[in-house]
Amino acid sequence: MAPMTEVRTGSDWDPRAPEVLADQLTAYDAMRGRCPVAHSDYLGWTLFRHDDVVAAARDHDTFSNVVSPRVSVPNGMDPPEHTEHRRINERYFTPERMSALEPAVRDIAARLVADLPRGGPTEVMDPLARAFALRVQSAFMGWPAALEGPLRDWTLRNHRASLSRDPEALAAVALEFDGYIRGEIAARRRTAGLVSAPGDVTAELLTERVDGRPLTDEELVSLIRNWTVGELSTIAACVGILVHALAERPEVQQLLRTDPAAIPSAVDELLRIHPPLVANRRRATRDVEVAGRRIPAGAPVTLLWASANRDETVMGDPDEFRLDRDPADNLLYGTGIHACPGAPLARLELQVMVEALLAGTEHLGPVTDAVRAAYPASGYTALMVGVR
């Protein structure tokens, strides 16, 4: 076997440079062509190309998901530990459970769309996108309406801490969130066995067992944290991206108004063009070469989904909207054993929201203002769209 290519490991780019944060997708597109495996102090080694990201995501032996000292269920685990915890996760996203939840999701979406002001530019991120993600997650978990405000505020603080990568800020927001979840767990335990006890997902999780033992509180909190952070941030980003896309692509909006059966495929395609999840972290378990760059054992590795899903060698023109693409090429929900376990819920939510938007309005657009989100988020922090 030929020796690995030795390449300088200084900083190839700055993921936090103003021009990158101002327009992430354009910056990632440029990096994919210029330096498809790039090193930075902030992200470690970043993989930009579709083939490289897929290969790494499917090779958990070389690119480990165990990247933090904190317990992370299940996405921060590798087999064999990952296998049993993933099995528990998948039980909560079955077709039967999604069908049972669908009426609540439709009601939430319809009410929020009906409440949007008509006739002029309307801000949609807070009253629609973020509210939808929060209320669906609360309905799914069985949480009280009183938790909505604190969780909304927590989401904003969590994003700021993630962007700064300040260890103290990250620890503080993690501790705050854990407090909310431990409170819900304690409430279920106090009513366990009572006729009036809630039969919700949070209560059901208390009965789960892994390797013959109950889940620890640390595992329960981590599992629920991962579900909730993914829901509150990523689903809200998805809704904003979809509203922006429908408003900016009137031909797509008209197609879906005429042919609602195309909505599921259209949602996946629009979110391929503008990916809502920017990246996931991995850790190299051994020295490995990717595209001529030597990544040393122990090094942090970033899988940049927001670049891979726009790779011209697989997608052609990454901004072209097409419904005839091979769904297997779309990395919207990841790939390999760590692909998003909550994908069935996400697909339900996003299909229902687009249906509600189109059924509850005559037209969306134009976009009068859009403030892009900065890494590690995607989509928009604010979005003004005409609604009538």
How does pLDDT run across 232-278, given as a tens digit for each residue? 889 999 999 999 999 999 999 999 999 999 999 999 999 999 999 99
Integer CA distances (angstroms), 132 to 112, 234, 235, 237, in order:
7, 12, 8, 11
- Which residue blocks in the chain are alpha helix, DSSP H? 18-22, 24-34, 50-57, 81-90, 95-114, 131-141, 148-164, 167-191, 201-205, 217-229, 236-248, 250-258, 263-273, 305-308, 312-315, 343-360
DSSP conformation class of 75: T
* 42 contacts 163 by C-beta, under 8 angstroms: no
Q: Taking the model in full, what pTM does it have?
A: 0.93
pLDDT at 117: 96
Q: Which residues on neighbouring strands pair with residue 92, listed in sequence order?
A: none
Q: How far apart are CA 65 and CA 216, in angstroms?
A: 20
How confident is the model over 105-115, as a mean pLDDT? 98
- What is the residue-averaged pLDDT of the chain? 93
Query: Is pLDDT of 207 > 80?
Result: yes
Q: Would you tell me which CATH number, out of the four given (1.10.3720.10, 1.10.10.10, 1.20.200.10, 1.10.630.10), belongs to the domain 18-387?
A: 1.10.630.10
* 274 contacts 307 by C-beta, under 8 angstroms: no
Query: Is pLDDT of 378 > 90?
Result: yes
Q: How far apart are CA 94 and CA 54, in angstroms?
A: 25
Longest dimension (CA), the chain: 68
How confident is the model over 24-78, as pLDDT tens digits?
A: 999 999 999 999 999 999 999 999 999 999 999 999 999 999 998 888 999 999 9
Contacts of 255 (CB under 8 A, 6+ apart): 262, 266
pLDDT at 12: 97
DSSP conformation class of 5: P
3-state SS class at 317: coil
Task: Tell whether the torsion through CA atoms of 91, 95, 100 and 106 is positive or negative.
Answer: positive
DSSP conformation class of 328: G
DSSP secondary structure letters along 224-281: HHHHHHIIIIIIHHHHHHHHHHHHH-HHHHHHHHH-GGGHHHHHHHHHHHS-S---EE
pLDDT at 37: 98
Q: How far apart are CA 222 and CA 248, in angstroms?
A: 38
* Band of residue 6 on the pLDDT scale cut at 50, 70, 90: very low
Q: Which residues on neighbouring strands pair with residue 280, listed in sequence order?
A: 303
pLDDT at 156: 77
Cis bond before residue 250 (omega within 30° of 0): no
Q: Which residues on neighbouring strands pair with residue 289, listed in sequence order?
A: 294
Please report, for the chain, the start and end positions of each structural domain, with discontinuous segments joined by +: 18-387
* 192 contacts 175 by C-beta, under 8 angstroms: no
3-state SS class at 58: coil
Measured at the alpha carbon of residue 139, what is the angle toward residues 218 and 126, in degrees to the nearest 5?
Answer: 100
pLDDT at 195: 52
Burial (CB < 10 A; 0-12, 13-18, 19+), residue 176, is middle
Mean pLDDT lowest among 67-81, 154-168, 284-298, 323-337: 154-168
